[in-house]
Structure 1
């Protein structure tokens, strides 16, 4: 029986004590005041990640995907979706085929297509050459060949055929997310009514709120949809992060990295979806136009930034693990420190910096 001592963050409280592991599972939480200052949290769950450590998910290369997943595992992310950007259909299809075995192995939890059915007016760092209206035949083929590997797709609900596409995704077990959108408040809510359950990186790549046209930000916050928040203090001011998280609540707020391959790498020139990106002082921007192009964030830093923004530790941990696990339908397996769940664990120092990581009870 393995024992880990520290302040254990459960879904409802921080409990000083010992976490007892029986092989790959959590066996028990034993309260004990005589423990270390370490903070024990569930392994992070990142549903929006394009790469890291010099490796990318966006090209459909399985070896690169393994490298990116391993990099983020070293930063406490024990479960993640491999996110692609807007691409030709041939790449979407080949990536699905290449990543399906990785899903079966548990290297990644599935595929997230961020596009290509997005707004040209709000494309951000998405390559405008690949944007298009939803094509039912493409959706059907991806769902068929993925056999469950395709877990999420971001769609702009105002596009022709978008509501039908969202409904099709919902009916076929794929999370439909609203993002990179110029939708009105009403169009956003129509997307949620059609079946969308996620807002892709809230505020970013969206029509900004206005008191006479609230747009997608308020449209999403006014529904039951979960909202992604990039807590790198670049995409969102800490005050806006805290405001959105408190408005949506911990059961609907999700921390994501939106990380690209430059994460953990030196400043320099990189590539995203066929477009040149320059990273300087950890900020990634398109070389042409200067739009923010993903991030260089890891989930351990996102958690620290969320707490520094004033969110309670229990809330921040729910946003980093419990809520995204529930979104993926995995709350009976991962996302919380509870007996019977898989022993995916991040052990943090008192300052919340990462100390070590366990996945299924094995230390990384």
Structure 2
């Protein structure tokens, strides 16, 4: 297995639009969460004697509906307590709908076929911003018998497309802004100054400046005071060449390596090889002649092979090696991704790698 060279052409790797590298401060999502009950399960719900919160929630719900069950013993397996989550997008208006995710909270085996009852969804401030209800759509299932069980996906999680209705709006006075702030998704001094320079060139002024590596502040021009949405639309279409630090991302558990464009290596020599000893047993059966007085015996046959990988040679990488040179050199040595991780770490330890290694 070799490292595949995935090189983006300059047109796709450069000249990114502002909307791809930065967000407008204040224009953001909000997380919502709620606790509810799912009913209609085919015996795959919570065990009430093991999930006290499910029993208490079921009893309280029935009390609100005028059904007296306190003091009695509930033994249903068709109800499950769940956590409901959703994302409230910016400028969502009352009556608009949201997708919601539903996850089992107790020991329910599956949410397949269930229906979520009315569940308020709250924000971080404790206020209710949406209400959810509807039939669940699960992507997994569980089936089996006494000897075997088959599970596909995660049957204890589900979604309800457009399953929540927005009841409260998040106030954001866009028209009253004195300035517009752009928050970089990957903070960088060079990228921030390039954004400010691109805005000033477009506006033919000097109203934009980078205050830190993550923020660019733009004073709203006079003729855009009443048209801030138009200003944001035109700004997010501007394009720049974002800068990035030299970085290598390594996931040792999956054998994944991602090498950034600006990674450089000083002159270094690399040799890689492993000693492999392979022992193969091929026993043979020895039988006597048809009329002979003898016994059938098994004769062991052992074959030992030693592979020192002598075909591999030491490779020299010259100074100022680029990403393409590094990929080509390691591929020429026949190095797999997991061995490549050790080589990259060794080059870094030798002081020949001008990049940061981040282990995921």
Q: TM-score, normalised by structure 2?
A: 0.18
Relative to its length, the structure with more helix (as a share) is 1
**TM-score (ref. length: structure 1):** 0.18
Which protein shows a greater Rg? 2
The higher relative CO (CA closer than 8 Å, separation ≥ 6) is in: 1
> Which has more strand, going by share of residues?
2
